[in-house]
């Protein structure tokens, strides 16, 4: 399956309360924005890429990416970003069968994430997939079939669904396991202390996986 069959959505639609507000993805790590590192890792893995963010899109102009606000109002969480990615893919990437979602506060994102999610779906005959490392599932790093957009919209709008796990539990979910050493590839910078820890970890990331 080629990358053209997968569109990517970068999830930056939250309020970043634990970081003190603002756009935590624009905070710098090793001299460049975390978002730049995520884009560098994600872009080669997908055929098309969109940034899901609310508010003034001009603050992301330097990325050169299209920006799509949540299609469900009220800062409804990662599922809203996934649905936004599905809708965007249906309208702008007609060859996309899947949407891969990436959190934008994870500077050590693996370069083979989409490949391994696709393999997990195929090997397990699953409907969708998510990543796991260090014994923890990371459902926001997922692979979602565009065909389920209508189901997800109904769940969010009519049922008030907000938890990713609650929605994925309705389907057959495959899991792609990732090694958490020497650095957990899904380490996320949620708080100021996490950003300082990420600076320390940066030196331990192998060059081939460092965007």
In this prediction, residue 206 carries a pLDDT of: 59
Residues 6+ apart with CB under 8 A from 166: none
Q: Summarize the confidence of residues 100-110 as an average pLDDT.
A: 95
Token representation of residue 110: 């693996």
The region of weakest confidence among 20-34, 55-69, 146-160 is 20-34
CATH of the domain at 65: 3.90.550.10
Q: Summarize the confidence of residues 31-60 as an average pLDDT.
A: 95
In this prediction, residue 192 carries a pLDDT of: 82
The domain containing residue 194 runs over which residues?
A: 3-209
Q: Total domain count for the chain?
A: 1
In this prediction, residue 208 carries a pLDDT of: 41
pLDDT over 50 at 165, yes or no: yes
For residue 144, what are the β-bridge partners? 99
Residue 41 burial (CB count, 10 A): 22
Q: Summarize the confidence of residues 117-145 as an average pLDDT.
A: 97
Among left, alpha and beta (phi > 0; psi -120 to 50; other), residue 55 is left
In this prediction, residue 195 carries a pLDDT of: 83
In this prediction, residue 17 carries a pLDDT of: 43
Q: Using CB atoms within 10 A of its CB, is residue 79 exposed (0-12), middle (13-18) or buried (19+)?
A: buried
Q: Are strands 32-33 and 128-133 parallel, antiparallel or unpaired?
A: unpaired
Q: Name the average pLDDT for the chain.
A: 91
pLDDT over 80 at 85, yes or no: yes
């Amino acid at each position: 399956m080629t990358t053209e069959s997968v569109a990517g959505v970068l999830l930056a639609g939250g309020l970043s309360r634990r970081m003190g507000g603002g756009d935590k993805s624009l905070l710098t790590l090793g001299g460049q924005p975390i978002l730049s590192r995520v884009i560098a890792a994600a872009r080669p893995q997908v055929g098309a890429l969109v940034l899901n963010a609310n508010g003034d899109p001009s603050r992301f102009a330097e990325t050169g990416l299209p920006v799509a606000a949540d299609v469900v109002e009220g800062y409804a969480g990662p599922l809203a970003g996934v649905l936004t990615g599905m809708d965007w893919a249906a309208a702008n990437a007609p060859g996309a069968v899947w949407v891969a979602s990436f959190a934008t506060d994870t500077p050590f994102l693996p370069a083979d994430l989409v490949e391994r999610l696709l393999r997990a779906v195929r090997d397990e005959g699953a409907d969708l997939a998510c990543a796991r490392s260090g014994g923890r599932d990371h459902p926001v790093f997922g692979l979602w079939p565009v065909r389920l957009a209508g189901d997800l919209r109904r769940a969010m709008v009519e049922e008030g669904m907000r938890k990713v796990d609650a929605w994925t539990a309705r389907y057959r979910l495959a899991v792609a396991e990732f090694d958490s050493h020497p650095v957990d590839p899904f380490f996320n910078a949620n708080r100021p202390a996490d950003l300082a820890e990420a600076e320390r970890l940066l030196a331990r990331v192998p060059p081939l996986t460092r965007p």
